[in-house]
Amino acid sequence: MRKILGMIFLATLSACIGTDVVNDPLVDPTLTIEDDDKLVTLLVGDTEQLTVLYMNETGAAESVDPIWMVDNSDIATVNNDGLVTASAKGQTNLRATFNGISSLDVLISVAENMDDIVKVLITEPEKSKIDVGEMLQLSATGWNLSNMQVVDGVVTWEVDNESVATISEAGVLTGISNGNVKITASIDGVNSVPVEVEVGSNALTAQFEGRSGYTAVGTATLDTNDDGDIILTLSDDFRTSFALGTFIYLSNSTSGSETKGGGLQLGEITTNGAKTFNVSQANASVTLNTYRYVIVLCFPASITFGLADFQK
């Protein structure tokens, strides 16, 4: 009887688990205006029909009736069905919302005649991420409603956060600090769709290797966090030999005794796997280039079990 009751309990439990999995949301719903360029160009008086793609929490497309809105109805209007009407020369942003979910903005750009510049395109950058201190050349072109490039006009550049990156009059972007920055180009008062670039630090990475017959594998990464602290991270697959008193050091020598005497001790380890050390808390004057090696050190015997060389 107990066996039967146990089987019934397990079957009931399994059913509940299965039901929970089915009912749990799998993804966050999304709402997207179906326009590849995030830009609609129109002549005054013209119209454009826009539609949305709504993906529900199960990841399936679902037909919905969103709320449409524009920032400046003097430039363009939009009705409840997503039909945009160009009213006057200029630009305005448009978006759709449904159940508290908002789409990304689409830029509506309106011209008075076919020869006017109606869109400015930033040439796709060579990279979407740069390091702090790195420079990236950007360029932009103006186009009219006949889809012909307009060669006249000076490009004006702007970034939304100069603490992350700056941009020169010539379109040279320079990374200042970690973060994301949106860049806009303008010609004759017509703005481009913003382009986003991520700015990261000059992270250093190195692979561990064993020494003197001992084991050390995995990846060491030395990077700067958002607070400006230097952080050493050991990867999930980090593995090493252990003894009583195994420590992680930063050092400029592979010698165990020299590391023990002149390196920077970050902490003792007793297990394999991912590890994180705040180097700046151990020594605030340390920079990314102060030390060359990460050392796995058997402290009592001053033996180097393994190392990662950032210059290798």
Closest CA to 106 of 15, 7, 31: 31
Query: pLDDT grade, residue 65 (50/70/90)?
Result: very high
Instruction: Give tens-digit pLDDT for 115-137.
Output: 999 999 999 888 888 888 999 99
Q: Is the pLDDT of residue 182 over 60?
A: yes
* The two three-digit tokens of residue 47, written as one number: 């119209």
Domains 30-111 and 117-200 share a fold: yes
Instruction: Give tens-digit pLDDT for 281-308.
Output: 999 999 988 999 999 999 999 999 999 9
d(CA 128, CA 284): 31
pLDDT of residue 25: 41
What are the residue boundaries of the structural domains of the chain, listed by start?
Answer: 30-111, 117-200, 204-309
Pairing of strands 246-251, 264-268: antiparallel
Strand, coil or helix: what is 7? helix
Instruction: Give tens-digit pLDDT for 137-171.
Output: 999 999 999 999 998 889 999 999 999 999 999 99
pLDDT of residue 26: 58
Query: pLDDT grade, residue 24 (50/70/90)?
Result: very low
Strand, coil or helix: what is 261? helix
In this structure, of 95-99, 125-129, 183-187, the range with the lowest mean pLDDT score is 125-129
Q: Is the pLDDT of residue 13 over 70?
A: no
d(CA 53, CA 75): 25
In this structure, of 21-30, 35-44, 141-150, 161-170, the range with the lowest mean pLDDT score is 21-30
The angle subtended at Cα 64 by Cα 42 and Cα 107, nearest 5°, is: 25
d(CA 172, CA 157): 9
Which helix (H) or strand (E) element contains residue 20?
helix 2-23
In the block, tokens 């159940």 appear at 99
d(CA 43, CA 115): 10
d(CA 120, CA 112): 16
Q: Which residues pair with 268 in a beta bridge?
A: 247
Query: pLDDT grade, residue 19 (50/70/90)?
Result: very low
Q: Give the mean pLDDT of 201-218.
A: 91
In the block, tokens 């439990």 appear at 13
Choices 3.40.640.10, 2.70.98.10, 2.60.40.1080, 1.10.10.10: CATH for 30-111: 2.60.40.1080
CATH number of this structure's domain 117-200: 2.60.40.1080
The angle subtended at Cα 203 by Cα 199 and Cα 207, nearest 5°, is: 145
In the block, tokens 């017959």 appear at 213
Whole-prediction pTM value?
0.60
pLDDT of residue 132: 87
